[in-house]
Amino acid sequence: MKLHTLGACIAFLLWVGHAPAKTVTVETIEVSPAQGEDSPAASPETIPLGDLPGTLESADEVIVDVPDVLQDRPQILYNKSYLPKPVARMHSQMMEAALSGDINRMRIILESNEVMPTLSFGEIEDPIDFLKESSGDGEGFEILAILADVLDAGFVHVDAGTPQEMYVWPYFSRYPIQDLTPEQKVELFRIVTSGDFAEMEQYGAWNFYRVGIGPDGTLHYFVAGD
Backbone angles phi, psi at 156, to 5 degrees: -135, 150
Per the confidence metrics, is the pTM higher than 0.85? no
- The neighbour count for residue 158, using CB atoms within 10 Å, is 17
pLDDT at 71: 54
Report how far residue 79's alpha carbon sits from residue 97's, in angstroms, rounded to the nearest whole number: 21
pLDDT at 179: 94
Report how far residue 5's alpha carbon sits from residue 16's, in angstroms, rounded to the nearest whole number: 17
pLDDT in tens, the chain (226 residues): 444 444 444 444 444 444 444 444 444 444 444 444 444 444 334 334 344 444 444 444 434 343 444 456 889 999 999 999 999 999 999 999 999 999 999 999 999 888 999 999 999 999 999 999 999 999 999 999 999 999 999 999 999 999 999 999 999 999 999 999 999 999 999 999 999 999 999 999 999 999 999 999 999 999 998 7
Residue (of 136, 162, 139, 151) closest to 190 by Cα position: 151
What are the residues whose beta carbons fall under 8 Å from the beta carbon of 205, sequence distance 6 or more? 173, 177
pLDDT at 74: 86
pLDDT at 72: 67
Report how far residue 221's alpha carbon sits from residue 166's, in angstroms, rounded to the nearest whole number: 11
Q: Where are the domains positioned within the chain?
A: 49-223
State how far the alpha carbon of 198 is from the alpha carbons of 34, 49, 177, 182, in Å.
Answer: 56, 26, 11, 15
pLDDT at 66: 39
pLDDT at 41: 41
- Residue 201 contacts residue 178 (beta carbons within 8 Å): yes
Report how far residue 195's alpha carbon sits from residue 201's, in angstroms, rounded to the nearest whole number: 10
